[in-house]
Amino acid sequence: MDLTLLVDYTPYILILGGIVAASWLLEKLARPAPVVGETVSWLVRVTSLFGFFVGIILLVTAAAVWSAEAWDTGTRYLLIVTGLALFLKPLKDIPWAALIGLVVGGLCAGSVYFFYPLPETVNGISSTWIYLAIFFIPALLVYVIFKFVEDVLRLIGMILASKPVSIILGLICIAQGILLKFFEQSLFDILARILLH
């Protein structure tokens, strides 16, 4: 698959990511409008449901932009941070450490059961207890290791998916996308020039 197409559409992808990230604010602003409000509110709600997939698109675009050395560094980081915010938002509610621990424990016990079956008793201990130990020991080790990673990702997801941060990221993405598309300038370059004067 040719990812250079994503590089060309980066401004549009930024605007889409910004709309999804700031969907809560956009819905609040559009709701009071008499005719358009209900339609825009409905569209924003539908768009926010696809936030996970838009986050993946933002992250893939960031990788494509980075490898092609296109756009500016601020745009690259904005794609990554907004992509992570949208990607981690639904994932922070899933107990990944427990799921991965169960899978690893099950694979270990299943491998021993099917490829190296034990006799009924081993040194007077029932093979059922040994299979349970083969399941629980790797499962607990993997759970402990991944629990830390899960908690770190949950913390990052909670921060990035909070309404204030999400709205700010969304508005920056929309502004950056518009500036790149119509004015061929980066918001970060403009801010750098203002701060240096």
pLDDT at position 50: 85
Q: What is the CA radius of gyration of the chain?
A: 24
Q: Are residues 2 and 83 in the same domain?
A: yes
**Adjacent-strand bridge partners of 122:** 125
Residue-wise pLDDT for 132-185, tens only, equals 999 999 999 999 999 998 888 888 888 888 889 999 999 999 999 999 999 989
Amino acid identity at 105: G
DSSP code of 71? Answer: S
Residue 115: both structure tokens together: 């490829």
- Cα 7 to Cα 27: distance, rounded to the nearest angstrom: 29
Residue-wise pLDDT for 13-49, tens only, equals 999 999 889 887 877 777 776 766 677 667 766 776 7
Q: Are residues 70 and 115 in the same domain?
A: no
Average pLDDT over residues 109-134: 90
Q: Are residues 20 and 64 in the same domain?
A: yes
- Give me the domain span that covers residue 67: 1-92+161-197
Average pLDDT over residues 114-132: 89
Q: Are residues 127 and 185 in the same domain?
A: no
For residue 16, CA distances in Å to 41, 74, 83, 127, 167 come to: 15, 17, 11, 56, 13
Q: Are residues 70 and 16 in the same domain?
A: yes
Residue 187: both structure tokens together: 């918001």
Q: Are residues 81 and 132 in the same domain?
A: no
- Cα 120 to Cα 18: distance, rounded to the nearest angstrom: 61
Mean pLDDT of the chain: 88
- Cα 69 to Cα 192: distance, rounded to the nearest angstrom: 20
pLDDT at position 163: 87
Q: Are residues 52 and 86 in the same domain?
A: yes
Q: Are residues 122 and 184 in the same domain?
A: no
Cβ contact 113:131 at 8 Å:
yes
All residues at 6 or more sequence positions from 172 whose CB lies less than 8 Å from its CB, including other chains: 18, 78, 187
